[in-house]
Amino acid sequence: MKRKQLSKILLLTSFVWLWSAMKATATEVPKLEVQSKSIASVLRNSRSIKEVRQLSEIKFPSTSARMLVQSQTPSNPPNLGREIVLITSVKANATNKGVEIVLETTQGTRLQVTNRSTDNNFIVDVSGGQLRLPSGDAFTFRSEKPLAGITEITVTNIDANTVRVTVVGEKALPTVELFDDNAGLVFAVASAATATQPPQQPQTSQTEEKPASETPQNTPSAQQDEPIELVVTGEQDGYRVPNTSVGTRTNTPLRDIPQSIQIVPQEVLRDQNATTLSEALKNAPGVAQVQTSRAPFARFLIRGFFNFDDNNSNYLRNGLREGRLEPELAPNVERIEVLSGPASVLYGTGNLGGTINIVTKQPLRDPFYAVDATIGSYDFYRGAIDLSGPLSDSKTLLYRLNVGYLNSGSFVDNVRTENFTIAPVIRWDISERTRITLEGEYTDRSQVIDFGLPLVGTVFPNPNGDVPRNRYLGNPDGVFSIEQYRVGYRLEHQFSDNWSIQQAFQWRRNRDDTNEEYIPPGSLATDNRTVTNRGFFDRDEGSDSYDLNVNVTGKFLTGSIGHQLVFGVDLNRFDDFADYLRAPAAPVDLFNPVYGQPLGPFRADFFNVRNLTDTLGIYIQDQVTLAENLKLLLSGRFDLFKQSTEDLLANTESSQSGDGFSPRVGIVYQPVPPISLYASYSRSFTPVTGTSFEGDLFQPEKGTQYEVGVKADLNNRLSATLALYDLTRSGVLTADTRPGVPLNRFSIQTGEQRSKGIELSIAGEILPGWNIIVGYAYTDARLTEDNTFPVGNQLILAPENAVNFWTTYEIQRGSWKGFGVGAGLFFVGERQGDLGNTYQLPSYLRTDAAIFYRRDQFRAALNFRNLFDVKYFEAIFAPGVTYGEPFTVQGTISWQF
């Protein structure tokens, strides 16, 4: 079957390439390529305009990069592999013919320009550039009704290396002309209504705003009597992130990826003051919490599935495998990306439900310094420092340093967390085509863990009354301590404008030293108040992980068909050990606990195991542009893995190895530029350890997903995604109940689970200052084959319905400018507590709110979580449950300089 699948993929790829070559031979598209002289000698200070040419005629000098000019955007975007040119400002200046838009950059000759028109819209795509403020933040320029006959002018980033200038004519197509100027690119905009108007005075830039009431009407008399005043707004990327690399390993617009991807950007994390992963990921539809944020590690369910194996949970950090995640958000986290559905074709073994990628902050070219301080309920104290800038005058050596400290209590008695993190990054631009980035991180965390409460008295009634949600059943002196070290590099080299290579390596080490840790039982004594069967652990545990990725990316044409090819190799080694000592602990009264009781004798031979896992993955991917509005994605990956386990107590060793092939095929059709219709098929695999009754090694679990959806750019600041999927997990271990097999001692690989659902997400800016991130997920996750539980039972903790809604509004003008409010509603439906569906966690609706004020570099905010103090269960821990956070207030002061 594997050879047949591989043959099908290769045959399909060959057919596409052959067909594209035949098509190119039959219809070769001509391209207009013209050289022109520089007109930098134009007298800019006088604001007078000399003779200019139409955009399709303007070219840079022969010493600069050549520019292709066509009536349509080419199927293969230009400027691939070049360093992005930063456009640090956009200015609007009135002229004797209308208005000119200046894209300020000192490297304008490296930019490439294409133009087209649609109805009354004149659209210019500037490839190779990005709008970035000196602080490193992206922004958008917008001018409404700058002159008669022109409705709007916008300049915005549309993907990772393209800036779009859009001029909207009121009744006719406007005239747009281009200057090559030392200040950058200058677009002269005129309409028939303004061709004879006298010159006006220079106007505002992208960082200045004017009240709408001060803007004159665009009538002939108004223009003759007084200068036209432009209303221009400077904005960051905000709640909408237009492109990502998590779905393709290349910087690709989200609308061109045939798979659902949710992104929680920095602005959402800031506005919600999210300090834990669970708080951040509640904004991603289809993601549900498995463990409380007061647990030692973070685990999440995606599209109904999760995996408790830390090495195969498919967490990523900047695209490299991350064995497990801490509950707290580190101060260097830039954004969080969720790739829904199988991702083995890109990242190897892992959870078929989805992949969580943590993107960290990178160095900035201009000095940036920020300090944050937060104080909140339950003795919450958190501080962070973010420093960045150049280390050399040439700005070829950059740095970034993030430092954070957290000291927090909890609404649960005796539960505390202390966390210190330092994360330096250095980037060296060795040449225009070569750069290396070095990253490190050290975290020291100590925590008193909340192990939850029994079901009786929480989910079920207890004749002695309800158990208070602040009750703690462990030892207040027991501390879970962990140290994490991380060092890595990313080396990037561009062979040419179209071919590049990237090598990334990361080593990480975890060392856990837990001297006292109580585990609650699964039942109560007959009095329904005495907690029995409690245990004590003295644990020494750790792991070392080594990840190496080599990626070659290239763009080329076969005829008129564009290709973006990715070929890569992944190497990973995961070495972990665990040494546990256990002793029985005294019972405790659930309603009147007495801490510090003596322990029983230690059992030294409880658990002492070492595991070693090696994996090798080879993958290839082709993003095929069949036409401007039709794109095909073909990819496949072959993985080899070997696992060995050494039981140091029993003095035994065992090992197993295997392989897996993961294909993916997707197609995107865009009937109009803002709308993408897509469909995809993908598979994944996850190794399963152990042997059957006959002694045969278990085969890897398989995941198969079919997904269709629609992605829409509602405007250039607001996007939506609607996805429908059918996901099957096969080869699941279930109890072996065959005659002759000892009861409850062996498993057989005959189980199957299935998840079908719908996910809707909307994120971005509705109006200036009004941001929103909204999601809805319907998840029907059930057992379809099992030897123990009834077929049709729902999977654990997978709510059928979940809704996330968060919006903020910031006043843009007047004396209240910078004042804003936020509000959020988070609904989670009923969830099953076990595969037997013997009990359910009830649904809940949580309300959050925020008040903030921003002025220049200063920002102050108050965040309110669970505003109405709803009592709800957030997760399951061990055989008990954990409550969600009650009403909480946090205040934050931030300063950038």
pLDDT in tens, 663-673: 999 999 999 98
Q: How far apart are CA 175 and CA 160, in angstroms?
A: 28
Q: How far apart are the first and last CA of the chain?
A: 61
| 187: nearest Cα among 100, 284, 276 | 100
Select the more confidently predicted residue: 73 or 391.
Answer: 391
Q: Which range is most confident: 175-184, 199-208, 215-224?
A: 175-184
Residue 451 carries which side chain, given as an amino acid letter?
Answer: F
Q: How far apart are CA 740 and CA 693, in angstroms?
A: 10
Q: How far apart are CA 42 and CA 180, in angstroms?
A: 9
**Given CA atoms 139, 117, 128, 250 in this order, what sign does their dihedral have?**
positive
Residue tagged 């079908």 (tokens): 756
| 126: nearest Cα among 77, 71, 193, 182 | 77
Ranges in the chain annotated CATH 2.60.40.3500 = 31-225
Contacts of 856 (CB under 8 A, 6+ apart): none
Select the more confidently predicted residue: 679 or 449.
Answer: 679
State the CATH architecture for 356-366+461-477+506-896: Beta Barrel (2.40)
* Statement: residue 298 has pLDDT above 70: yes
For residue 520, name the pLDDT band (cuts at 50, 70, 90).
Answer: low
- Per DSSP, the residues of 36-99 read ----TTS-TTTT------BGGG----TTS----B-SS--SS-S-TTSPPEEE-EEEEEE-SSSE
For residue 516, name the pLDDT band (cuts at 50, 70, 90).
Answer: low
Q: How far apart are CA 250 and CA 92, in angstroms?
A: 34
For residue 687, name the pLDDT band (cuts at 50, 70, 90).
Answer: confident
Q: Strand, coil or helix: what is 4?
A: helix
The secondary structure of the chain in percent helix, strand, coil, rounded to multiples of 5, reads: 5, 55, 40
**Which tokens is 203 given?**
């106007």
Q: Strand, coil or helix: what is 270?
A: helix
Contact of 519 with 535, CB cutoff 8 Å: yes
For residue 553, name the pLDDT band (cuts at 50, 70, 90).
Answer: very high
Other beta carbons within 10 Å of 856 = 9
Residue 229 DSSP symbol: -
Taking phi first (over 0 means left), then psi (-120 to 50 degrees means alpha), and beta for anything else, what does residue 271 get?
alpha
Give me the pLDDT at residue 204, please: 34
Please compute the mean of the pLDDT values over residues 272-293 and round it to a whole number. 93
Contact of 361 with 370, CB cutoff 8 Å: no
Select the more confidently predicted residue: 168 or 133.
Answer: 168
For residue 499, name the pLDDT band (cuts at 50, 70, 90).
Answer: very high
Residue tagged 């980037």 (tokens): 427
Give me the pLDDT at residue 237, please: 55
Give me the pLDDT at residue 558, please: 94
Please compute the mean of the pLDDT values over residues 210-238 and round it to a whole number. 37
Give me the pLDDT at residue 595, please: 87
Q: Among 199-208, 468-477, 508-517, which stretch is predicted with the lowest mean pLDDT?
A: 199-208
Give me the pLDDT at residue 313, please: 60
Beta bridge mates, 402? 386, 423
Residue 474 carries which side chain, given as an amino acid letter?
Answer: G
Q: How far apart are CA 527 and CA 481, in angstroms?
A: 35
Q: What percent of the chain has pLDDT over 70?
A: 82
**Which tokens is 710 given?**
């629609």
Contact of 19 with 11, CB cutoff 8 Å: no
For residue 518, name the pLDDT band (cuts at 50, 70, 90).
Answer: low
Please compute the mean of the pLDDT values over residues 809-816 and round it to a whole number. 92
What are the C-alpha distances in Å from 691 to residues 10, 254, 269, 431?
Answer: 34, 42, 44, 54
Q: How far apart are CA 341 and CA 779, in angstroms?
A: 13
Q: Strand, coil or helix: what is 396?
A: coil
Taking phi first (over 0 means left), then psi (-120 to 50 degrees means alpha), and beta for anything else, what does residue 158 get?
alpha
What is the number of residues in the chain?
A: 897
Mean pLDDT of the chain, nearest integer: 82
Select the more confidently predicted residue: 201 or 778.
Answer: 778
Contact of 113 with 178, CB cutoff 8 Å: yes
Residue 751 carries which side chain, given as an amino acid letter?
Answer: G
Residue 214 DSSP symbol: G
Contact of 542 with 514, CB cutoff 8 Å: no
Q: How far apart are CA 439 and CA 424, in angstroms?
A: 6
Give me the pLDDT at residue 836, please: 93
Residue tagged 């070049």 (tokens): 82
The domain 31-225 is placed in CATH, from the list 1.20.58.220, 2.60.40.3500, 1.20.1260.10, 3.40.50.300, at 2.60.40.3500
Strands 129-131 and 85-87: parallel
| 136: nearest Cα among 361, 435, 429, 383 | 361
* Statement: residue 704 has pLDDT above 60: yes
| 779: nearest Cα among 259, 304, 305 | 304
Strands annotated E in 276-367: 287-289, 300-302, 315-317, 320-322, 333-340, 354-360
User: What's the pTM value of the predicted model, to 2 decimals?
Assistant: 0.77
* Statement: residue 202 has pLDDT above 60: no
Cα-trace Rg, the chain: 30
Contacts of 680 (CB under 8 A, 6+ apart): 258, 259, 633, 664, 665, 666, 667, 705, 706, 707, 708
Please compute the mean of the pLDDT values over residues 112-122 and round it to a whole number. 80
Ranges in the chain annotated CATH 2.40.170.20 = 356-366+461-477+506-896
Give me the pLDDT at residue 383, please: 97
Give me the pLDDT at residue 14, please: 41
* Statement: residue 221 has pLDDT above 60: no
Give me the pLDDT at residue 83, please: 67
Other beta carbons within 10 Å of 294 = 27
- Residue 531: phi and psi, rounded to 5, are -90, 120
* Statement: residue 828 has pLDDT above 90: yes
Strands 129-131 and 141-147: unpaired
Contact of 316 with 355, CB cutoff 8 Å: yes
Residue 869 carries which side chain, given as an amino acid letter?
Answer: D
Contacts of 740 (CB under 8 A, 6+ apart): none
* Statement: residue 79 has pLDDT above 60: no
* Statement: residue 441 has pLDDT above 60: yes
Select the more confidently predicted residue: 114 or 358.
Answer: 358
Please compute the mean of the pLDDT values over residues 376-383 and round it to a whole number. 97
Contact of 314 with 368, CB cutoff 8 Å: no
Q: How far apart are CA 708 and CA 728, in angstroms?
A: 15
* Statement: residue 61 has pLDDT above 90: no
| 417: nearest Cα among 280, 294, 278, 273 | 294
Q: How far apart are CA 14 and CA 7, in angstroms?
A: 10
Q: How far apart are CA 296 and CA 325, in angstroms?
A: 9
Beta bridge mates, 372? 384, 894
Residue 827 carries which side chain, given as an amino acid letter?
Answer: F
Q: Among 36-45, 72-81, 423-432, which stretch is predicted with the lowest mean pLDDT?
A: 36-45
Q: Among 71-85, 523-537, 776-790, which stretch is predicted with the lowest mean pLDDT?
A: 71-85
- CA contacts within 13 A on the Cβ side of 319: 21
Residue 310 DSSP symbol: G
Q: How far apart are CA 558 and CA 552, in angstroms?
A: 19
As to burial, measured by CB atoms within 10 angstroms (0-12 exposed, 13-18 middle, 19+ buried), residue 439 is: buried
Q: How far apart are CA 555 and CA 537, in angstroms?
A: 56
Residue 586 DSSP symbol: -
| 95: nearest Cα among 53, 41, 146 | 146
Q: How far apart are CA 283 and CA 776, in angstroms?
A: 10
Give me the pLDDT at residue 5, please: 46
Contact of 216 with 226, CB cutoff 8 Å: yes
For residue 2, name the pLDDT band (cuts at 50, 70, 90).
Answer: very low
For residue 106, name the pLDDT band (cuts at 50, 70, 90).
Answer: confident
